[in-house]
Amino acid sequence: MHNRRRTAERKSGMTDLKIDRRYPIGAEVIAGERVHFRVWAPKAKRLEVGIEGEWGNDLGAEAPPPFAELQSEPDGYFSGALEAKAGSLYRFRLNGAGNLYPDPASRFQPEGPHGPSCVVDPFAFKWTDQAWPGIKMPGQIVYEMHVGTFTPEGTWRAAMKELAELARIGITVIEMMPIADFPGEFGWGYDGVDLFAPTRLYGKPDDLRAFVNEAHSLGLAVILDVVYNHFGPDGNYLGVYSGDYLHHERDNEWGDSINFDGENSGPVREFFITNGRYWVEEFHFDGFRFDATQSIHDESDEYIVGAIGRAARLAAGRRSIILVAENEPQETKLIRPRSEGGDDLDAVWNDDFHHSAYVAVTGRHEAYYSDYRGRPQEFVSAAKFGYLFQGQPYSWQESERGTPTFNAHPAAFVSFLENHDQVSNSAQGARMRFESAPGVYRALTGLVLLGPWTPLLFQGEEFGATSPFVFFSDVGDDNLREAIRAGRFEFLSQFPSMAVAEVQRTLPVPTERETFERCKLNLAERQTQRPFYDLHRDLIRLRREDSRFQKQIPGGVDGAVLGEHSFVLRYFGEANDERLLIVNLGPVQPFIPGPEPLLAPPFGCEWKVIWSSDNERYGGPGVAKPVSDEGWLLPAESTIAMRAIPQTKPRRKPKERKRER
């Protein structure tokens, strides 16, 4: 949708033009073979644009390009129209100096961030998703994807061929890791420097449009992971145009913070708000995952993340989109409505759930796992309240952690066993199943996919991928690469188990291409690892089709601890449409007697097993019935889902016993 335009009257050659712009910055095709350029460059007294040829043609780049001077506007902007077209390559020259620079709002960098920018016509692609209604948060199953490692080719076109299979097994949302262009030949994408330019590593901009269009045709939504907390260390030319993009007195763990509330921050805010609109309008993304919002510092009346989200929703028009945040200190203001002083996002990542699960699997509570024990009460509380830490003391940081979540919708908490960060934060990037007993892993998989939260799977998790996922980055020169290697190894050394010299010697080097190549998925494992694939497919189907598990009812789940390693979740519903989830992460456990009301079936009903992680098709020992006339017997390392059904036999009459007088 291109329903917002900016009108500007500027001279171009001898003609006065009235320019109808979609966005306040960047190069836009306007008519025929003419392009209008607009850039914020308060450092410049004079700004020129040079057309260097057309992408794909031999430029004969020895000759300097012809330059046309842009007209200055108030507040440091420059703009103008000249003869050019889609595919034209261009750069800017400031104050007549010899250096040429890419457009800060470039739509494509075919030679990478250090090369020329490319004019793109967004209307050349013919969308077929006009009937796509968008999505809302409840009911979603999210799948995090790194395009460069999802297929051997590592392109949008190759990944697009796999979307039908993801839709078939029940995935509803693709969460695409960052795609803003960055230097080098591989990387996670969190060091992006051209925030409007889909990286050339995965294909052309229209390849990305085709990916989203195909996803919508299959009923899949696509949200984009965006990094608005810092710029990458290599290839960022914004400082050439203005010294006000960064807040140099306020740093974060990746460097200087972005200036959202300081002097001359208005155009900076406009840059990022425009970026949010752009991805939704021109690529039809269904929302965002905002990376590390704790490092997006802004004391303005409206927090920039909320402002970007509000603009993105307006840009989507009739389509509904979802907005998700990562927030390490667990500030629930993000998911509160604006009417209550919040930022009106839909969901947050819940690291608390992951950390409890990790400790339950490994028994290690070191570094940022220090405050977790993996005990049943932690899982019960996560099911009822989302975050575990909501203001209590948190010893790892020697401070209080979190804010209250009461009254928040259960769908607002995205829970997972794996994501890109947590898999990579092990010595060799091993998947959780390799650190777990098979039964415990199956049981936790059942919990995460049937719990009341929004579940997220990391690519390959659904078929038990054997490929690791570690940090990799091809950014920069030798000095920067060494700094990246040293910084990564230092980060991992916060875990005592990874700080010892013999482990440090074996850590994968992030800047080596082999490190990146080892992380590529082997999609043939969908067949060779069939028990894992069946496990995830069956659970997703049950979650989506069961009349109660598919509902995320606020306050609709209660839970109780049954033993040292076991607990029950009770899903209440109308007309006895109730479920039990029995989870035992330890050895077989008799629960006799059973004085726990949540285990009692609704009146006139009994419990029937509808799913068990012990099913032989998942590699389990076989399904056991946990309740009998004698009481409850919880199978070892298992999760069992049960449904209330009408009683098939009358209740037993109590034996006559002598009573005390």
525 is catalytic: no
Question: Of 144, 326, 352, 378, which residue is the catalytic one?
Answer: 326
Element (DSSP H or E) covering residue 210: helix 205-217
291 is catalytic: yes
Give residue 147's Cα distance to chain centre: 13
Question: b/e map of 100-129 (b: 16 or more CB within 10 Å)?
Answer: bbbbbbbbbbbebbebbbbbbebeebeeee
DSSP 270-333: HHHHHHHHHHHHHH---EEEETTGGG----SSS-HHHHHHHHHHHHHTTSB-EEEE--TT--GG
DSSP 350-370: -HHHHHHHHHHHH----GGGT
Query: Across 389-437, where does the E strand assignment appear?
Result: 392-394, 399-401, 413-416
- Number of Cβ within a 10 Å radius of residue 384: 17
Element (DSSP H or E) covering residue 217: helix 205-217
Q: SS3 sequence, 426-446?
A: CCCCCCHHHHCCHHHHHHHHH
CA atoms within 13 A on the CB side of 576: 14
Question: b/e map of 268-298 (b: 16 or more CB within 10 Å)?
Answer: bbebbbbbbbbbbbbbbbbbbbbbbbebbbb
Give residue 90's Cα distance to chain centre: 33
Element (DSSP H or E) covering residue 641: strand 638-646
Residue 284 · residue 212 · CB < 8 Å = yes
Find the length of the chain: 661
Q: What are phi and psi of 345, to 5 degrees?
A: -85, 170
Question: Of 214, 234, 261, 291, which residue is the catalytic one?
Answer: 291
Spatial distance between the Cα atoms of 15 and 307, rounded to a whole number of angstroms: 37
Spatial distance between the Cα atoms of 658 and 152, rounded to a whole number of angstroms: 75
Q: Return the active site residues.
A: 291, 326
